[in-house]
Amino acid sequence: MPPKYDNAILTGACGGLGQALAAELIAGGARVALVGLDIGVLHKLAAAAPERCAIYTPDVTDAGAMQAIAGDWMQRHGTPDLVIANAGVAGGFDPAEAGDLAVLRRMLEINLLGVATTFQPFIAPMQAAGRGSLVGIASIAGWRGMPGNAAYCASKGGLIRYLESLRAELRGSGLHVCTVSPGYIRTQLTAGNTFSMPGLMEADEAARLLLARAARGREHVVLPRRIGWLSRTLSLLPAAWHDRLLNGQPRKPRVGQPGSTAIPGLQKKE
């Protein structure tokens, strides 16, 4: 059995994967800082162990707010041994539409900058403790650009490189940096997809595998593994063939289209 985490910070706790991760951590006896925007969902999660949970509702891109959360949590519960930067948004993107530039900007802020602002306040205390895991939720979509999905691919591709750099920076410090690249997980973010989603996983299964593999010290986790094999196989195709194949698939809904999900803090100007 892998070691269990005792003290965890979790952003994006209101989403499908976030709720599953929260439930798994709480059931395992961890103290958990639940960070998200839906106060009702957070209260339901915390009700399972109110003495071990705290609720925070910041914008994860606000460095000052995240530093305040870190200070409050560590004053009450000490230095965490696990920080999961799970907050993220998704949506289609049309590079010819001026209004979609705001979508790109906000997606980069949440999916990339939000991870950095989540980790930053905990790095020095965790280094001083000489232990702990920093887990960033990237995506298979960050491995290669896809038509109609440029904003999301760019944000997750940038995140993969950020985590790679952070891992190199912290190697030997006792801190473990884990990059998680999910394929398709049954959550609100994938509910509006009309294209094929091979290897679609349930959120609770993904949460269990993610935590178990991170606890074993895995630096890269792909969920499910077979979607990683499929992606690598497709990457062997000539680029023009690969692009033609993807161009034939339905596009992810853009903001405002049926099936799209809201992006917090987005101020889209047409």
Q: Which of 84, 74, 70, 66 is nearest to 13 (CA)?
A: 84
- Taking the C-alpha atoms of residue 227 and residue 229, their distance in angstroms, rounded to an integer, is 5
Q: Pseudo-torsion of CA 84, 200, 154, 106, nearest 10°?
A: -60
Catalytic residue chosen out of the listed positions 5, 56, 152, 162: 152
Please list, in sequence order, all residues whose beta carbon lies within 8 angstroms of the beta carbon of residue 88, skipping any fewer than 6 positions away.
Answer: 12, 15, 110, 111, 114, 137, 155, 189
- Edge-to-edge strand order for the sheet containing 175-182? 53-56, 31-35, 7-11, 82-85, 132-137, 175-182, 220-223
- Taking the C-alpha atoms of residue 235 and residue 231, their distance in angstroms, rounded to an integer, is 6
152 in catalytic set: yes
Q: Pseudo-torsion of CA 3, 6, 9, 14, nearest 10°?
A: 80
Please list, in sequence order, all residues whose beta carbon lies within 8 angstroms of the beta carbon of residue 124, skipping any fewer than 6 positions away.
Answer: none
Q: List, by residue number, the catalytic residues.
A: 152
